[in-house]
Amino acid sequence: MGSEGPSTGFMQKKGLPEGLVLGSCNVLETAGDGVLPQLHEVFQTAFAGQSNETSNGGQIIWLHLGVNSGATRFAIENQAVNEATFRCPDEMGWKPQKVAIVPSDGSISHVREVC
């Protein structure tokens, strides 16, 4: 796998489910806080495209595969907390401790839940 993450290897091994049509896939840089401009651009592009689409039943699915060094399998979470705390520095040397990921989105105790 080289420098690719475990999710890349998983998709190469398992592939897409039968009948699934992938319109696009974006993999964002995750090291450091430099990801925010790219993330905002992806959000704006996705939501602009969604409002311009015809009624084709397409859906936008956002999937974040977090980091859990003790995990033995993937887990899809239904909530997110606006906090970054790293035990070890990331690839860019960033090691935040109780830092708001998106300061304009509220404090580190702010939680977002999805269905």
pLDDT tens per residue, range 54-85: 444 567 777 776 667 788 887 777 777 888 88
pTM of the model: 0.53
pLDDT greater than 60 at residue 88: yes
Q: How far apart (Å, rounded) are the C-alpha atoms in residues 98 and 67?
A: 16
pLDDT at residue 98 tops 90: yes
Q: What would the pLDDT profile of 23-46 be if each residue is shown by its tens digit?
A: 777 777 777 767 778 888 887 887
Cross-strand bridge partners of residue 99 = 84
Q: Are 81 and 113 spatial neighbours (Cβ–Cβ below 8 Å)?
A: no
> By the 8 A CB rule, do 65 and 45 touch?
no
- Phi, psi dihedrals of residue 111, rounded to the nearest 5°: -120, 140
* CA–CA gap between residue 74 and residue 98 (Å, rounded): 24
